[in-house]
Amino acid sequence: MQRLAGGEITVHLRVRLPEPERRKSLKDKLVKSKYIGPGQPVSVLFGLTENQRKKLENEVKRTHSNRSNICRKALDAYRLKINKETVSYQPYHKYPVLGLKNISVTIRQDQADWVRIMAEKTGKKLSEIGREALEYFFEKTTSS
């Protein structure tokens, strides 16, 4: 961009996508975007307490799996439980949970979308939903 003395040039672009039939014929010629499908992995951070971290590591050793697989199973189980119940909205409230350690977990794209939707519906943070999912999973696995 050229700069004028003492001013800037602003350019506004208007883009119109071709119709779907035309888009199919131009498939290779259009700008490619990164597709993230429902099975694609997404990294999220969950803040876990010391007790939950120990339970998670014990489950990793017991099942010879990794943290992400266990968290994916926990989110699936928690999702089935929550779908049976009615969810009430609670405004963002601060619980002073001290000693949380963030762990990076890879979950599926559909799980990440569900966790974000539940965060909006319930007013809870993503980490809080992750902690509840792991607690429910650990209760379920120890009782069976």
**Selection from 38, 53, 45, 68 nearest residue 126 by Cα:** 45
Q: Are 128 and 135 in contact, with CB atoms under 8 Å apart?
A: no
Task: Give whole-number Cα distances, 127 to 21, 27, 29, 66, 105, in Å.
Answer: 43, 40, 42, 19, 11
Any domain includes 3: no
Q: Which residues of 4-39 are buried (b: 16+ CB within 10 A; e: fewer)?
A: eeeeeeeeeeeeeeeeeeeeeeeeeeeeeeeeeeee
Residue 125 structural domain: 40-143
Supply φ then ψ for residue 124, to 5 degrees.
-95, 160
Residue count of the chain:
144
Confidence of residue 17 (pLDDT cuts 50, 70, 90): low
Any domain includes 111: yes
Q: Give me 86's structure tokens.
A: 């009615």
Any domain includes 21: no
Any domain includes 73: yes
Any domain includes 10: no
Confidence of residue 99 (pLDDT cuts 50, 70, 90): confident
DSSP conformation letters of 40-73: SEEEEEEEE-HHHHHHHHHHHHHHT--HHHHHHH
Any domain includes 23: no
* pTM across the whole model: 0.68
Which DSSP letter does residue 30 get? S
Any domain includes 33: no
Number of domains, the chain: 1
Q: Give me 126's structure tokens.
A: 């993503």
pLDDT tens, residue by residue, 81-91: 988 887 777 66
pLDDT tens, residue by residue, 46-62: 889 899 999 999 999 99
Any domain includes 125: yes
| Residue 109 one-letter amino acid | Q
CA atoms within 13 A on the CB side of 65: 12
